[in-house]
Structure 1
Amino acid sequence: MNEEMRANTAAFEQTVRSTLALAATLTDDDWDRPTECPGWTVKDQVSHLVGIELDLLGDPSPDIDVPDFPHIRNDFGRALEAAVHARRSVPGPAVAAELADALERRLVQLPTLDPDRVVRIPDGREGPYSRLMLVRAMDCWTHEQDIRRATGRPGNLDAPAAHCFWKLFSPVLPLIVARRAKAAPGESVTFAITGPPDFDAAVTVDENGRGALSAAPSAPTAELAMDWETYVRLTAGRCTPDAVTVGVKGDADLAARILAAMSVTP
């Protein structure tokens, strides 16, 4: 493994082990609780993690017809639903046991893989396997947080995989500000995110209407301040802006357009 692959694998392992420890505390009622991930219960979240890891291990995909659930919006969503639907009659602890087994098998597999091997990344682009592991760490952590919110068991917000989430999605802030929220040339926005982890970012729109991450301007057009969990929920499309508290200074209309456009996950 190179250094990047090692760090991403460690982040992946930490959040999956945290999820398994969390799963061991769940009651029968907890497994059936709905989460902010549309259409999925707590058990469905764990089933999803199992399905992805078994697929990466090369295990056969379940041969199952997936109903036209309202939360399935495209072929990608339908493909993800197969592993979830196949386990809807399986008890939660048994699904967690599958995840534990898949994790151990993956930890044996990963050191044998070329971190530079080009593979298809879930965003549809190609990239090295080390980046796929960055995405896996982020995805597993995002679903762990879904489970924690649904069951009232907060924790692991400052995990290594949380930093993977920021690394993957903070570069999208210029697109959100300039293209989606249509900030005008010359306008700028700052984001102050408090945790831990704490993050700060600024986006400035150039004369051609293109946004870019920049140094914090002395007088930004709008300033947004929120806690880390709020940023994650908005970015992952888990809630709408009216469900969270965000501090806004400056151009309130621009800020509202940005918050409405924050969701970037499929």
Structure 2
Amino acid sequence: MNEEMRANVGAYEQTVRSVLQLAGTLGADDWDRPTECPGWTVKDQLSHLVGIELDLLGDPSPDIDVPDFAHLRNDFGRALEAAVHLRRSVPGPAVAAELADALERRLAQLPTLDPDRVVTMPDGRDGPYSRLMKVRAMDCWTHEQDVRRAVGRPGNLDAPAAHCFWDLFGGALPIVVARRAKAAPGESVAFAISGPPDFHAAVEVGEDGRGRRASGGTPTAELAMDWEDYVRLTAGRCTPGEAAVRVTGDRDLAARVLAAMAVTP
């Protein structure tokens, strides 16, 4: 493994083990609690993780008809639902045991893989396998946080995989501000995210209408929020009205930015 691959695999392993440790504390009623991920319970979250890891291991995909659930919006969502629906009658602890087995198999597989091998990412773009592992760490951590909120057991917010989340989605802020929120040339938006982890970023719109990172000056609007609410907004887990955001400056621009922050597939 190269250094990047090793770091991303470490982040992935840490958050999956955190999920498994959390699963060991769940009571019978916890598995069926709804989460902020539309249509999915706590158990469904783990079923999703199992399904992705088995796909990456090369296990045969389940041949199953997925009903037209209201929360399915596209073919990508329908494809992800197959592993979840397959396990709807499986007890939660058995799903957790399946995830534990998949993790060990993946940890044995990963050192044998070329970190520079080009693969297709979930967003359809091509990239090296080392980047795919950053995506896997981010995805596992995002679903871990879904579970923790659903069962009222917060934790692991400052995990290595949390930084993968920022690395992957923080770079989308120029698109959010300029293309989605349609900030005008010369306008800028600052983001103050408190944790831990803490992140600060500012985006300004150039005369060409494109957003780019800004280095200073007084922003047109500033959005201050805690890390968990930033994650919920970016992952589409809540509406702007459900997040605690402190706005200074142009409130109309801030509202347009907040409405456009969901960028996960």
**Once the two structures are superposed, what CA deviation does each residue of 1:127-173 show, in whole Å capped at 9, x if it has no partner?**
00000000000000000000000000000000000000000001100
Which residue matches 2:92? 92
How far did 1:219 drift?
A: 1.2
The answer to whether the aligner puts 1:224 opposite 2:223 as a matched pair is yes
Distance 1:64 1:28 in 2: 27
Which residue matches 2:234? 235
Distance 1:264 1:234 in 2: 9
SS at match of 1:36: coil
**Once the two structures are superposed, what CA deviation does each residue of 1:108-139 show, in whole Å capped at 9, x if it has no partner?**
00000000000000011000000000000000
What's the TM-score, normalizing by structure 1? 0.99
Distance 1:161 1:265 in 2: 15
How far did 1:213 drift?
A: 1.3
What's the TM-score, normalizing by structure 2? 0.99
The answer to whether the aligner puts 1:204 opposite 2:204 as a matched pair is yes
AA matched with 1:221: T
| Structure 2: segments with no counterpart, 5+ residues | none
Q: Which runs of 4+ in 1 moved over 4 A?
A: none
SS at match of 1:234: helix
The answer to whether the aligner puts 1:18 opposite 2:18 as a matched pair is yes
How far did 1:214 drift?
A: 2.1
How far did 1:249 drift?
A: 0.4
Which residue matches 2:261? 262
Which residue matches 2:111? 111
Which residue matches 1:30? 30
The answer to whether the aligner puts 1:136 opposite 2:126 as a matched pair is no
Distance 1:75 1:244 in 2: 29
Distance 1:220 1:144 in 2: 34
Percent identity for Structure 1 against Structure 2: 82
Which residue matches 1:192? 192
Distance 2:262 2:166 in 1: 14
| Structure 1: segments with no counterpart, 5+ residues | none
CA RMSD of aligned residues (A): 0.4
